[in-house]
Structure 1
Amino acid sequence: MAAGFKTAEPLEYHRSFLKENCRPDGRELVEFRTTTLNIGSISTADGSALVKIGNTTVICGIKMVRACQPNPSVEAPNKGYIVPNVDLPPLCSSGFRPGAPGEQAQAASQFMADIIESSEVVKTEDLCIERGKLCWVLYCDLMCLDYDGNLLDTCVIALLAALKNAQLPEVTVNAETSLPEVDLKKRKPLQIHRHPVASSFCVFDNSILIVDPTGEEERLSTAQLTVVTDEDGRLCSVHKPGGTSLSGERLQECISRAQVRHREIRKLIDKVAQSVTSGK
């Protein structure tokens, strides 16, 4: 009976739970799903992480490539580059099709690029090897293995954890040949300056606010919002892809909850990273 009601009237089915301040999966309105993290998941990558929020699973692999002139631009001769790319293959959900990246994948890639720039998680000056001649380009590939909503939160955690796992090889430029020489045995951790964490919300019927939406909740909601904060509580980004407007009071509530969520995720990342470093 309940299964038929859910299929025939999915919105009313969800409303029947929301009016009791709970959700179909048993969570409270402001309760996040279980979040798990594994760092160093890809042995061939220069840094990697696997993140699960509920059923949504994203893996991030980082590849470091040296770029010579003319890649270091005239406008930024002392900077390198970070290039994120989000892939939503058909294997992660029946809602995605083979072929060129769809609108959601492109929007997610742009969101990640904006977060990298606005948060200054890594300063691109740190990726400069020799001014105007040589720099590092970090290709950050994020692939969704299983999609059940809240893609952006999962991607941000995966990227941050993978960056913390990345190590830069030592590079020197031979004075006689002017050629770069890379020592893969000598590596140093990539310096992480800020720790951005995303928290996503959905609104039902223009009034009921929930956190960490599932894929079905995203489809049925009247508005979606993602808030990104750093360790100082600073607001790095507010991403709202259309939908109904939110009051200032509701926006402040989202920011406050995002700051609490940041502390939880930061603690998780530090715990797992320390475990990997200690070899436990």
Structure 2
Amino acid sequence: MATATAFTPQTFAKLSPHPFHLASLQQSHHPQAQAQPNSNNASSTPTRANGRAPHESRPISINTSSLSHAHGSSMVRIGDTSVICGVRGEILPATSIPQWRKPLNPAADVSSAEEVKEEGAREMRDYDLLVPNIELATGCSPSHLPGAPPSTLAQTLSTRVYSLLHTARVLDAEDLRIWYTPEEASAGVNGGDDAMRDVEGEGEELQLEPELRAYWTLYIDVLFVSLDGNAFDAAWAAVLAALRDTKLPKAWWDADREMVLCSRAKTNALRTSGLPVACTASVLTDREKDVEHDGTFAVMLVDPDREEEKLCDEYLTAVVDRSEGQTGLRGISKFGGRTQGSAEIRQLVTVAEKRWEEIAKVLSQ
């Protein structure tokens, strides 16, 4: 007697992955499932092949101060995606910057707070004071072997992180400036005289203005230990956590040596503005139907894993910040596809708000 042959779901997933994932999500649209909405059948709820709901994210864990040789570091794990980020500052003399111009001094110049922020954003962008680098050639996945040249994905991630660092204005340029005040030097020589001095032959008083001598340049290195999808969200969370953990040595300009000196004992914590959190979703569609004429089944999968990313051609990312109580939209990006419109983007923003609460809770622990 012949033995019946049965295939496990894992076998079907390997033989025909796209129909398998699509069938898992279309169970709620089955006529029997719609006829019995109150039944306890699990098929009434759309479930992804990995067991998660379409808008369900994987749990996230964040550890900071993981690297002793960096000024700030973090390790982020989202499901089976693990990322390590290290931040290290280096001194950039102002004399080494081509076409450098003196910035606005908040203490001396009569300028609005918005003008000072714009000037700081210009400095960080024009002088490249923030240098992120994403490294995927670590054997983190079968597609990224050790020693391989930078892939397109790695370069794209570096560009997106660089852009978001500037558009979200996470850092204050004042924390990266190294000032030298001549009046402090003259006060030490003259035995603590006032900073104001009389000009010879006149009764006017001259205030010696601070001079900007150097900047801190932050090199932000992100290393993927393992990659199971959603690389951007993991990389951005690691960068944000590492910057919040960064403590730069106290630096000052030594007029006698004409160079910047740093303290081994004293540090200044880097201040971050807000908490912009990224939430990415991929869109799984029925490839056998024409989008324009027949319509198509399309479902948004939040925090996709590696297998889901292989089957999707459309991706959306929303960056939100609720640190001030209200939702602030810091960025929206969309790649490929044409099934998702403004309604779906608003839905993703709502999901991103919940994701922000989860990450904010983890960072506060």
TM-score, length of structure 1 as denominator length: 0.91
Query: Are residue 13 (structure 1) and residue 93 (structure 2) matched?
Result: no
SS in 1 for 2:335: coil
Query: Are residue 214 (structure 1) and residue 305 (structure 2) matched?
Result: yes
Output one character per residue of 1:136-165: Cα deviation in whole Å (capped at 9) or x when no partner: 000000011100000111111101110111
State the 1:228 CA deviation: 0.9
Output one character per residue of 1:71-93: Cα deviation in whole Å (capped at 9) or x when no partner: 44535654451111111014101
Aligned residue runs from structure 1 range 121-200, under 5 A: 121-130=170-179, 132-200=212-280
Cα 1:27–1:201 change in 2 (3 A) is same
State the 1:168 CA deviation: 1.5
Aligned residue runs from structure 1 range 84-123, under 5 A: 84-97=132-145, 98-123=147-172
Return the alpha-carbon distance in structure 1 between the equivalents of residues 130 and 251 of structure 2.
18
Pick which of 29-38 and 74-83 moved more.
74-83
Output one character per residue of 1:164-197: Cα deviation in whole Å (capped at 9) or x when no partner: 1100211111233332121121112100112111
Return the alpha-carbon distance in structure 2 between the equivalents of residues 175 and 3 of structure 1.
69
Percent of aligned positions that are identical: 30
* Aligned partners of 2:133 and 2:222 also within 8 Å: yes
State the 1:99 CA deviation: 2.9
Query: Are residue 74 (structure 1) and residue 99 (structure 2) matched?
Result: yes
2:57 is aligned to 32
Cα 1:33–1:67 change in 2 (3 A) is same
Cα 1:83–1:29 change in 2 (3 A) is same
* Aligned partners of 1:72 and 1:132 also within 8 Å: no
SS in 2 for 1:122: coil
| Aligned with residue 244 of structure 1, among 338, 343, 349 | 338
Cα 1:71–1:214 change in 2 (3 A) is farther
Return the alpha-carbon distance in structure 1 between the equivalents of residues 99 and 240 of structure 2.
29
* Aligned partners of 2:313 and 2:336 also within 8 Å: no
State the 1:26 CA deviation: 1.1
SS in 1 for 2:139: helix
Return the alpha-carbon distance in structure 1 between the equivalents of residues 156 and 102 of structure 2.
29
Q: How many residues align?
A: 271
Cα 1:148–1:71 change in 2 (3 A) is farther
Output one character per residue of 1:191-232: Cα deviation in whole Å (capped at 9) or x when no partner: 011211110101111621111000111110131111111224
Return the alpha-carbon distance in structure 2 between the equivalents of residues 138 and 114 of structure 1.
15
Pick which of 47-56 and 221-230 moved more.
221-230
Any unmatched runs of 5+ in structure 2? 1-6, 28-45, 104-122, 180-210, 286-296
Return the alpha-carbon distance in structure 2 between the equivalents of residues 263 and 75 of structure 1.
41
* Aligned partners of 1:60 and 1:162 also within 8 Å: yes
Letter in 2 for 1:15: L
Pick which of 32-41 and 201-210 moved more.
201-210
Return the alpha-carbon distance in structure 1 between the equivalents of residues 300 and 101 of structure 2.
43
Output one character per residue of 1:8-43: Cα deviation in whole Å (capped at 9) or x when no partner: 110011012112311112111111111111111111
Return the alpha-carbon distance in structure 2 between the equivalents of residues 71 and 256 of structure 1.
46
Any unmatched runs of 5+ in structure 1? 272-280
Cα 1:148–1:76 change in 2 (3 A) is farther
Return the alpha-carbon distance in structure 1 between the equivalents of residues 71 and 279 of structure 2.
27
Pick which of 93-102 and 145-154 moved more.
93-102
Return the alpha-carbon distance in structure 2 between the equivalents of residues 77 and 10 of structure 1.
58
1:49 is aligned to 74
Query: Are residue 259 (structure 1) and residue 353 (structure 2) matched?
Result: yes
SS in 2 for 1:92: coil
| Aligned with residue 22 of structure 1, among 47, 51, 57 | 47
* Aligned partners of 1:74 and 1:132 also within 8 Å: no
| Aligned with residue 226 of structure 1, among 302, 305, 317 | 317
Return the alpha-carbon distance in structure 1 between the equivalents of residues 353 and 267 of structure 2.
33
